[in-house]
Amino acid sequence: MAKLVHTMIRVTDEARSLKFYTQAFGLQVADRLDFEGFTLVYLSNDENTIELELTVNKGQIEPYELGNGYGHIAFVVEDLDAEHARFEAAGFSPRKVVDFNHDGEPLARFFFVQDPEGYEIEVMQRLGRYQ
């Protein structure tokens, strides 16, 4: 068996990304490794056994091209409506809440938001298979 330990995204502005992920999802720096050409910042919180790795390539000024292969990161929350309102109040510009059904049964309830680099993030109500 293999264990998933982190997912990585490239960011141009470490401070801006840290502020977003801390405010939006309560992630804190678990580790920060500085190298000559880049910095790795590992984020987590008590809810997670997987970390989000931010890679900051020194000297990268232009925004990264996300391309059409990137999907999204997903977080689950207890109260989706409260989180949506909190995101709006914080100025994160979340998209509308979607109720998604499969065969007439609720499958997911979610909204999307973009981080400062343009990465898509799905915020989901904790229910069903999304615990």
Catalytic, out of 51, 53, 83, 122: 122
Amino acid present at 127: L
Q: What is the mean pLDDT of residues 80-101?
A: 96
Q: Please indicate whether residue 62 or residue 70 has the higher confidence score (pLDDT).
A: 62
Domains 1-59 and 71-131 share a fold: yes
In angstroms, the CA 37 to CA 60 distance is 10
Determine the topology of domain 1-59 in CATH.
2,3-Dihydroxybiphenyl 1,2-Dioxygenase; domain 1 (3.10.180)
The tokens for 91 are 């100025």
The tokens for 73 are 């990161």
Cβ-based burial of 97 (10 A; exposed 0-12, middle 13-18, buried ≥19) = middle
In angstroms, the CA 55 to CA 91 distance is 25
Other Cβ atoms within 10 Å of 5 Cβ, number: 10
State residue 68's pLDDT score.
79
Our answer to whether residue 65 is catalytic in this structure is no
Q: Residue 11 pLDDT > 70, yes or no?
A: yes
Determine the topology of domain 71-131 in CATH.
2,3-Dihydroxybiphenyl 1,2-Dioxygenase; domain 1 (3.10.180)
3-state secondary structure the chain: CCCCCEEEEECCCHHHHHHHHHHHHCCEEEEEEECCCEEEEEEECCCCCCEEEEEEECCCCCCCCCCCCCCCEEEEECCHHHHHHHHHHHCCCCCCCEEEEECCEEEEEEEEEECCCCCEEEEEECECCEC
For residue range 32-55, list pLDDT tens digits in order: 999 999 999 999 999 988 999 999
Domain edges within the chain: 1-59, 71-131
Q: Residue 25 pLDDT > 80, yes or no?
A: yes
